Amino acid sequence: MTTAPDRASLTAFVTASLADFGAEEDLITPDATFEDLEIDSLDLVELGQAVKRRFGIQVRPKDMDGVKTVGEALDAIFRTAGI
């Protein structure tokens, strides 16, 4: 079951997913780097898969190439979703 995506719900979902992956919740801000959050490239692929499952947005591993911060990841997802 997928839900029509908007920026707020995608941001909330990404934040919850990163916390579920083990990132410290208080540290998850748009400026936070994945290095500081101890989120690696494997986690980012899983994040893309989770977004696909939940929202039907086809985020591929290459869409996350060069992504360093939470904000950049959100931008990549928004871009793919066309919002």
CB of 8 to other proteins, least distance (A): 25
49 binds other proteins (CB under 8 A): yes
Residue of 11, 27, 33, 52 interacting with other proteins (CB under 8 A): 52
CB of 42 to other proteins, least distance (A): 5
Pattern 1-30, binding to other proteins, x per CB under 8 A? -------------------xxx--------
For the chain, give the secondary structure using H, E and C.
Answer: CCCCCCHHHHHHHHHHHHHHCCCCHHHCCCCCEHHHHCCCHHHHHHHHHHHHHHHCCCCCHHHHCCCCEHHHHHHHHHHHHCC
CB of 23 to other proteins, least distance (A): 8
CA nearest to 10, candidates 72, 63, 81: 81
* Interface contacts to other proteins, rule CB under 8 A: 20-22, 38, 42, 45-46, 49, 52-53, 60-61
